[in-house]
Structure 1
Amino acid sequence: MRPLAARATVLLLSAALLSACSAGSDGGGDGSSREPAIGTVPRLLSTASLSYPLDGYETTADQRRKLEQAQSRVTSDCMKRFGFTYELPRSPVTGGRSDASHYGLTDATVAARYGYTPNRGAQRPPKPTGPDLGPSGELALNGPEYKGPQPMSLEEARAKDSGKTLNGQKVPVGGCLREGFLTLYAPKKGAVDIMFVTNVGMDAYSRSREDSRVVAAVKAWSSCMAEKGYKADEPVSPQKDLGLDANTYGSPRAIAAAKQDVACKERANLVGIWFTVETAYQKRNIEQNAETLNQAKTELNERLKLAATLAG
């Protein structure tokens, strides 16, 4: 049986995966092979303070926290109807980009201390835990096993017969977790796919990776690594190329390679070139999808207003 906290966290994060009943394209570009102009390329290494054109359309860490609080409140109120006191365990909400993810490792201090160790030596946050609700409480939280399609609206969830009751009340299909989720994220007719903005960004990143200017920068980085005896072609995640595994990411050999990795990125100006190219593709995608992106931003603001009323 899956732990209650794990199920709750899945529901908290499932909004990011909801893609039904959406309008517009999937966030991709027009398929043009023309590479956008980029102008002057700055010399960059750190990614910590970079900002992108799409940032204005993305959900911020603070906004995600407010949405989570509202979802937690709705779920808790639902559980009270069945006689249980329950609060959703909070999922970790972080802001900004990981320096070791978008363009690979770029911090010389981190490389020298931790190599390719995930979380850069930071203590892992404790896994969220929930109370022991017992079989009845778990039934209210998660709903009974249901083989049909999951409801996509509150009305549908309440209209479907789950076949179970508690304290004289029908348990909704998907339980209180589904009710809390649907209250905020149930798709409406003509609404923009909840993943649209993310898809626009992913498309720009993917196209930038194949852009001739980035390809040339990656080759320059790879050649620099080869000069020092390291055979690597993938700058974002070179661990496999370097013969490292999870047990050796922080080893002296890994640290030596990581230091050279960062030095070669600086020498090739990989971050400066890649960031500039990706920014250009984001701007192009914004121009091509301006109407849908603006609609997505409006719908996010409406969801945040609803969240404010629900959180109390």
Structure 2
Amino acid sequence: MTAACAVLAAGLLAACGTSGGTGEGTSEGTGKGTADGPPPAERVPKVTSSADVPGLPLDAHALTREQYLTYMKGQRVAARRCMARFGFPDFRGLDSSVDASYRGDRADPSRYFYAIDATGAARYGYHSPPEGPRSTPPPGGGTTAAENAVYQGANAGRRVAGRTVPEGGCSAEAYRVTHEGAQAGVDILSGVSRPRYDLYRQAQRDDRVRAAFAGWSACMRRSGLAYADPMAAQNDVRWRKAAAATREETAVAVADVACKQRTNTVGVWWSVLAAYEKRYATRHRDELADLRRAREAVVRTCARLVAEGER
């Protein structure tokens, strides 16, 4: 998986949650049958809109939008310098990765806890609201087979434009250049998002969250809607078939939000998830400190590369 794909996949965290899923967990446990049991829940906030959802403990360690953009721009400079040596000064293979619309890797309530805001539910149902214009690469942003062979290292060891292609190609060289001075083996992009996904799934399976889902489900049944949990409503196959929300979809989404508010489903869900993240942060304090130092070192290097430009 490329660096950009790792980050973008992390942004789809909540979409990976499926009704009744089991999944693989980390050593933090599932809230059931673990050696030390589920962690004590944090205080339960009253949530009636996304503005009421507090930040989560691992947000402090998550990749920010600014860090991501600096990192990807630095990777692009390093890759272009390498590609230029092999006769490809106009390489644009990383342009699409430098996406100014990327919002960072901190918890987004609308992704983590699905529909929360009544106004959005009534207007968009379970569809995402339209976003601002995404940055687009300049014309000619595609790559040729010859460029890809050098960038990915498919012809490593061979001579191109009078030079020997390094192992791993210019992609590996760009990684080495941007990570110079950083601790080896630290995943600065998904060092938080990977364990966070496991923690999210554990919280979904926790008895306290399942009880909150059961209360929400009972509320939905009183409106004539049979869904086991909020994920089942969000992922109803009928919504995926339409490009925009249908009247039926918005009606279900409005009922969903109303039941979340009546039962404070999101408040309970957040409190349990926050407890798992807090325990993880405590147990992995050293690793998170290593992540912070490595990320800061890489971002400094990338900022210098960007400042130097293409020269």
Question: Do both proteins adopt the same fold according to a TM-score greater than 0.5, normalized to the shorter chain?
Answer: yes
Q: Secondary structure at 1:43's aligned position in 2?
A: coil
Q: State the distance in 2 between where 1:236 and 1:196 align.
A: 26
Q: Is the 8 A contact 1:27 1:199 kept in 2?
A: no
Q: State the distance in 2 between where 1:249 and 1:163 align.
A: 51
The within-5 A match list for 1:36-185 is: 36-38=39-41, 40-47=43-50, 50-83=54-87, 84-87=89-92, 88-91=94-97, 92=99, 93-95=102-104, 96-117=106-127, 119-122=128-131, 125=134, 128=137, 130-131=140-141, 134-144=144-154, 162-184=156-178
1:233 aligns with 2:228: yes
Mark the CA change 1:106 to 1:303 in structure 2 (over 3 Å): closer, same or farther. same
Equivalent in the alignment of 1:7: none
Q: Is the 8 A contact 1:112 1:255 kept in 2?
A: yes
1:294 aligns with 2:304: no
- Gaps of at least 5 residues in structure 2 are 9-24
Residue 12 of structure 1 deviates from its aligned partner by: 4.1
- Number of residue pairs the alignment of both structures matches: 278
RMSD over aligned Cα, in angstroms? 3.1
Residue 275 of structure 1 deviates from its aligned partner by: 0.9
Q: State the distance in 1 between where 2:197 and 2:64 align.
A: 17
Q: Secondary structure at 1:303's aligned position in 2?
A: helix
Q: Secondary structure at 1:121's aligned position in 2?
A: coil
Q: Is the 8 A contact 1:219 1:233 kept in 2?
A: yes
1:203 aligns with 2:198: yes
Residue 257 of structure 1 deviates from its aligned partner by: 0.5
Provide the identity percentage. 29
Residue 104 of structure 1 deviates from its aligned partner by: 1.2
TM-score with structure 1 setting the length: 0.77
Q: State the distance in 1 between where 2:144 and 2:208 align.
A: 58
Mark the CA change 1:292 to 1:217 in structure 2 (over 3 Å): closer, same or farther. same
Mark the CA change 1:235 to 1:62 in structure 2 (over 3 Å): closer, same or farther. same
Q: Is the 8 A contact 1:200 1:282 kept in 2?
A: no
The AA in structure 1 aligned to 2:302 is: A
Mark the CA change 1:35 to 1:236 in structure 2 (over 3 Å): closer, same or farther. same
Residue 163 of structure 1 deviates from its aligned partner by: 4.5
Equivalent in the alignment of 1:29: 28
Equivalent in the alignment of 1:155: none
Q: Is the 8 A contact 1:230 1:242 kept in 2?
A: no
Equivalent in the alignment of 1:13: 4
Q: Secondary structure at 1:205's aligned position in 2?
A: helix
Q: Secondary structure at 2:110's aligned position in 1?
A: coil
Post-superposition Cα deviations, 1:76-109, rounded to whole Å, max 9, x if no partner, equal: 1112212322343143322354443201111211
TM-score with structure 2 setting the length: 0.77
Q: State the distance in 2 between where 1:126 and 1:196 align.
A: 26
